[in-house]
Structure 1
Amino acid sequence: MARMFRVLGFWTLVIGLMAYAGHMVEMALLFFMQTAFFVLLGYLKLTERTYILSFWGYMLVCFTGFSYWTIFEMSNPF
């Protein structure tokens, strides 16, 4: 399970580098922070239950933040 978090760290690093190359600095910084979080979590040698709970917590925070941003912060197209 720990290896999967290192894989997630790799892919968030790739996405962050592509965002930085596309001059989307805020998005790149967000993905670089996620990379650091996933790689750190991948090397902590936690139990499988802890990894699953931390991933669910991460998903809850991300989906809540994304929903808030799309509903309240994006401009209304109408």
Structure 2
Amino acid sequence: MLDSDLFLVLGILVSAFAIPAVLSAFADSRPPRAAALAVLVGGGLILLAMATKPGGYTPGQIPETFARILARFLGH
């Protein structure tokens, strides 16, 4: 069974952590290969989450989704 909530949260986190890597690569005048790969993986996870959840996600559902995933991993 695919867990679209988990895919969405992981995709957003991977993409968010890739932003400083992209900026660092450009600041050092080097190609952002690893950062670009992270952005592609994160974007793919977000697209997979949107495709597997009936009706998709609205921006207002994202904080609730993060809270639900965090509660699941904390055991609440």
Q: State TM-score, norm by structure 2.
A: 0.46
Q: State TM-score, norm by structure 1.
A: 0.45
